[in-house]
Amino acid sequence: MAMTVHVDIVSAEEEIFSGLASMVFAPGVMGELGIMPRHTPLLTRLKPGEVRLINTEGEEESFYVSGGVLEIQPHTITILSDTAHRAKDLDEAAALEAKHQAEQKLQDQSSEFDYAQAQTELAEAMAQLQAIQKMRKKLGR
Amino acid sequence: MAVGKEIRTKIKSVKSTQKITRAMEMVAASKMRKAQERMAAARPYAQKIRNVIGHLAHAHPEYKHPYLQDREVKAGVGFIIISSDRGLCGGLNSNLFKATVRAMREWNDKGVKIELCTIGAKANGFFKRLGGNVVAQISHVGDAPQISNLIGVVKVMLDAYDEGRIDRLFVVYNELVNTMTQRPNVEQLLPVHGVDDPQLKHHWDYIYEPDAKDVLNGLLMRYIESLVYQGVVENLSSEQAARMVAMKSASDNAGDLIGELQLVYNKARQAAITQELSEIVAGAAAV
């Protein structure tokens, strides 16, 4: 039997593959990597693309990753796949959006807090109304 | 019959409330199962990335990343607070906020500034009222949160760390101990610590492509994001569990209330019948 290496492909939201392989191909940022068992430790980022591996039966399996990180240890290969497409400017935009929301919520006093206040006011008004109705009933009798 | 009209209406209203709480209980139960599955699905990634970081701590890279270096707290600390979006889940959120405020006070006494990042509408509302310095917030991530929702808020805090505005970063969320118990948990994110793999003691280092700084940056950013994501999904399961328990006790209480009211109603009705009968008998005797 050919030499094998343990391969784990995971994304933040699920496990994609876990098992043995005799060879792995992955799209590194510096170019395509072909990894055999007992490769020297290596850490690289991945480009969006196809990860292929040859499993113990000699069949080829392929998975799509939208970027991520690849770690190689002599006996294990770990692929941390991203679930989102990311680029520096996209991350920047998301961060700005989060900040913007925080500022807006601070200025906008009419949101969540007012809602709670309105609810208590409504409850008070309802209680008053009920009291008035009760009194009216008593007087009407 | 005019007897106990008020009691009957009251019973009806309690019954309809009970119907609602019971429905909410069942919805929470089914959502909790899904949330727990999601938690389990996220676990392999967190474990693998922790392994990699553990290896990294033992490697001897030519470049030391600031996230891996312990530094003194001078400027401030940051908190990422994960709460639910909705209420009606018992003391879940208020316990969490109490724990957070306690942790914040400790740092405040030392005279450092605090920057907050809130995930979830409840945390946002609470810390705004409290007058905290909320620098980033996101709410309504839904029942199926995705890491892409969280990238922005996490990046704001990481930038604050990079710029030296904060020297520590914590995440606060409810840990699901079991269905009955949820515990507020304050965990340190930055600087990264507590990852260890004793198997790799000898002197070695990775080959980095394209270079150490770039790769480590990407890796550590993903690590922090995955920890925050874990917090979010765990908090979500806690929320559903807490809501299920709260709604169950609400339904039970409604049941007790209905029982008591029913008793009062029956007594009143019986008394009215007895009175009517005795009136008839007395009337017949008088004739």
| Per-residue model confidence as pLDDT tens digits over B8-44 | 999 999 999 999 999 999 999 999 999 999 999 888 8
Which residue among B129, B137, B159 places its CB closest to the CB of A101?
B137
Which residue among A80, A86, A91 places its CB closest to the CB of B48?
A80
Share of chain B above pLDDT 90, in %: 54
Smallest CA–CA distance from B49 into chain A, residue: A80
Domain A89-139 adopts which CATH fold? Answer: 1.20.5
Q: Which residues of B touch A10 (CB under 8 A)?
A: 44-45, 48
Q: Which residues of B touch A18 (CB under 8 A)?
A: 44
3-state secondary structure of B71: coil
Residue B79 has pLDDT above 90, yes or no: yes
How many Å is the maximal CA-CA distance in chain B?
116
Q: Residue A112 and residue B121: Cβ atoms within 8 Å?
A: yes
Residue B64 has pLDDT above 90, yes or no: no
**Residue B60 CA: distances (Å) to CA of B68, B207, B209:** 12, 11, 16
Count CB pairs under 8 A between chains A and B: 139
Residue A113 has pLDDT above 60, yes or no: no
Q: Residue B222 and residue A80: Cβ atoms within 8 Å?
A: yes
In this prediction, residues A58-62 reach a mean pLDDT of 87
Band (pLDDT 50/70/90 cuts) for residue B202 is low
Judge whether B61 and B216 are in contact, CB under 8 Å: yes
Q: Residue B155 and residue A95: Cβ atoms within 8 Å?
A: yes
Judge whether B139 and A112 are in contact, CB under 8 Å: no
Pairing label, strands B76-82, B113-119: parallel
pLDDT value, residue A109 = 56
All CATH 1.20.5 domain ranges in chain A, comma separated: 89-139
B177 against A102, higher pLDDT: B177
Q: Which has the closest alpha carbon to A82: A29, A11, A14, A27? A: A11
Band (pLDDT 50/70/90 cuts) for residue B197 is low
From B110's Cα to the closest Cα of chain A, the distance in A is 26
Band (pLDDT 50/70/90 cuts) for residue B252 is very high
Interface ipTM: 0.73
pLDDT value, residue B211 = 83
Residue B229 has pLDDT above 80, yes or no: yes
Residue-wise pLDDT for B116-153, tens only, equals 999 999 998 899 888 888 898 888 888 888 888 888 89
Assess A118–B contact: CB distance below 8 Å, yes or no: no
In this prediction, residues B195-224 reach a mean pLDDT of 76
pLDDT value, residue A112 = 53
Which residue among A82, A86, A112 places its CB closest to the CB of B124?
A112
Judge whether A27 and A51 are in contact, CB under 8 Å: yes
Q: Residue A113 and residue B218: Cβ atoms within 8 Å?
A: no
Residue A39 has pLDDT above 70, yes or no: yes
Task: Report the alpha-carbon distance of residue B57 to residue B53 in Å, rounded.
Answer: 6
Q: Residue B206 and residue A10: Cβ atoms within 8 Å?
A: no
Q: Residue B128 and residue A15: Cβ atoms within 8 Å?
A: no
Burial of residue A141 (number of CB atoms within 10 Å: 0-12, 13-18, 19+): exposed
pLDDT value, residue B194 = 59
Quote the mean pLDDT of chain B: 88
Band (pLDDT 50/70/90 cuts) for residue B283 is very high
Which residue among B41, B117, B125 places its CB closest to the CB of A14?
B41
Band (pLDDT 50/70/90 cuts) for residue A106 is low
Q: Residue B155 and residue A92: Cβ atoms within 8 Å?
A: yes
pLDDT value, residue B277 = 95
- As its CATH architecture, domain A5-87 has Sandwich (2.60)
Judge whether A75 and A24 are in contact, CB under 8 Å: no
Assess A89–B contact: CB distance below 8 Å, yes or no: no
pLDDT value, residue B83 = 94
Q: List the Cα angle B53/B57/B59 in 5-degree steps.
A: 110
Band (pLDDT 50/70/90 cuts) for residue B201 is low
In eight-state DSSP terms, residue A63 is E
Q: Residue B225 and residue A12: Cβ atoms within 8 Å?
A: yes
All CATH 2.60.15.10 domain ranges in chain A, comma separated: 5-87
Assess A95–B contact: CB distance below 8 Å, yes or no: yes
Smallest CA–CA distance from A17 into chain B, residue: B44
Smallest CA–CA distance from B126 into chain A, residue: A113
Give the pTM: 0.81
Smallest CA–CA distance from A100 into chain B, residue: B136
What value does the CA radius of gyration of chain A take, rounded to a whole number of Å?
30
Assess A12–B contact: CB distance below 8 Å, yes or no: yes
Q: Which two tokens stand for residue B270?
A: 């019986």
In this prediction, residues A66-76 reach a mean pLDDT of 88
Residue B163 CA to its chain's centroid (Å): 29
Residue A90 has pLDDT above 70, yes or no: no
Residue A110 has pLDDT above 60, yes or no: no
A110 against B74, higher pLDDT: B74
In this prediction, residues B153-169 reach a mean pLDDT of 91
From A41's Cα to the closest Cα of chain B, the distance in A is 5
B140: left (phi over 0), alpha (psi -120 to 50) or beta: left
Share of chain A above pLDDT 90, in %: 16
Band (pLDDT 50/70/90 cuts) for residue B2 is low
Q: Residue B41 and residue A96: Cβ atoms within 8 Å?
A: no
Smallest CA–CA distance from A114 into chain B, residue: B125
Residue A128 has pLDDT above 70, yes or no: yes
Burial of residue A82 (number of CB atoms within 10 Å: 0-12, 13-18, 19+): buried
